Amino acid sequence: MLEIKNLHVAIEDGSKKILNGLNLTVHNGEVAAIMGPNGSGKSTLSYVIAGKPDYEVLDGEILLDGRNILDLEPNERAAAGIFLAFQYPIEIPGVATMTFLKAALNAQLKEKGQDVLTTPEFMRRTFAAADKLEINRDMLKRALNVGFSGGEKKRMEILQMALLEPKICILDETDSGLDIDALRIVSEGVNALRSPDRGFLVITHYQRLLNHIVPDVVHVMNAGRIVKSGGKELALELEANGYRDYQTAA
């Protein structure tokens, strides 16, 4: 379970406050969607949970299964089970995707005190996950995300998620840039990972994704806090009416 309590965050030089007393709980087994206008702080929230260093937490707590993770390094948070699929996945020239995936997975296993995978076992798992996501095996030999299309990058994020088996999966606009078939394939990949001991935070602008990944709860974010929570019908209401009712509330 992920619990965020009274989170206040500014960018590191203190020039701008982005999160303003945000409260949010993601229960195990739950898919929580976050919707909200551009600039409301959704990506910032995902970065702060994952431990990106450019932000200063002024107040509040982020608890994973009751343990405050704010003092942990990003790699320690990853080992604890936090995963972020980026809105804009990063290109890593010179590092083959396969090499990256193996390093990421083994680093986490080591951090958890578990044995690293043998190469054949790693290859077996990776190919199985790639096949499900219809990721061509030739792509795994290429440098990570370099020259990948927008949709290919998003699939690669989900492949990483499938391999790492996180406790809390944060998807930041994973649907943006996906064609209709890719949206279905990626959604199936996400749905296959739904489990009673895993929570999802799905950031999206479009109700359509939520037809594929049906959320248990929808939260509306505005001006750095959650201003409304409801069931999946809330996404339909937003689609029809926009954010006007919630912008005044903030």
Ligand X SMILES: Nc1ncnc2c1ncn2[C@@H]1O[C@H](COP(=O)(O)OP(=O)(O)OP(=O)(O)O)[C@@H](O)[C@H]1O
54 binds ligand X (CB under 6 A): yes
Query: Which strand (E) or helix (H) includes residue 249?
Result: helix 244-249
Looking at 24, 42, 135, 228, which residue binds ligand X (CB under 6 A)? Answer: 42
Q: Interface with ligand X by CB under 6 A: which range of 20-28, 40-48, 98-106, 231-239?
A: 40-48
User: Looking at 41-49, 58-66, 154-162, 182-190, which segment touches ligand X (CB under 6 A)?
Assistant: 41-49
Of the ranges 24-32, 81-89, 156-164, 206-214, which one interacts with Mg ion (CB under 5 A)?
81-89
Span interacting with ligand X, options 36-44, 59-67, 119-127, 136-144, rule CB under 6 A:
36-44
The whole-angstrom separation of Cα 34 and Cα 82 is 17
- Give the β-pairing of 82-85 and 168-172: parallel
Q: Which is nearer to Mg ion, 43 or 97 (CB)?
A: 43
Q: Residue 41 interacts with ligand X (CB under 6 A)?
A: yes
Q: Which residues contact 77 (CB under 8 A, 6 or more apart)?
A: 49, 50, 51, 64, 69
- Contact flag: residue 38 with ligand X (CB under 6 A): yes
d(CA 64, CA 9) in angstroms, rounded, equals: 18
Identity of the residue, 105 or 157, whose beta carbon is nearer to ligand X in the bound complex? 157
Write down the least CB distance from residue 17 to ligand X, Å: 9
Q: 151 near 177, Cβ under 8 Å?
A: yes
Quick check: 213 and 232 in contact, CB under 8 A? no
18 touches ligand X (CB under 6 A):
yes
Name which of 129 and 200 has its Cβ closer to ligand X: 200
- Residue 163 or 168: the one with the smaller Cβ distance to Mg ion is 168
The whole-angstrom separation of Cα 228 and Cα 111 is 37
- Contact set for ligand X, span 180-219 (CB under 6 A): none
The pairing of beta strand 225-230 with beta strand 217-222: antiparallel
Rounded Cα distance between 13 and 5, Å, is 23
Q: Name 59's Cβ contacts closer than 8 Å, sequence gap at least 6.
A: 6, 7, 8, 21
46 binds Mg ion (CB under 5 A): no
Amino acid at 160: Q
**Residue 51, binding choice from Mg ion, ligand X, none, Cβ under 5 to 8 Å by partner class:** none
Q: Is 43 in the site for Mg ion (CB under 5 A)?
A: yes
* Interface positions with ligand X (CB under 6 A): 11, 16, 18, 36, 38-44, 54, 87
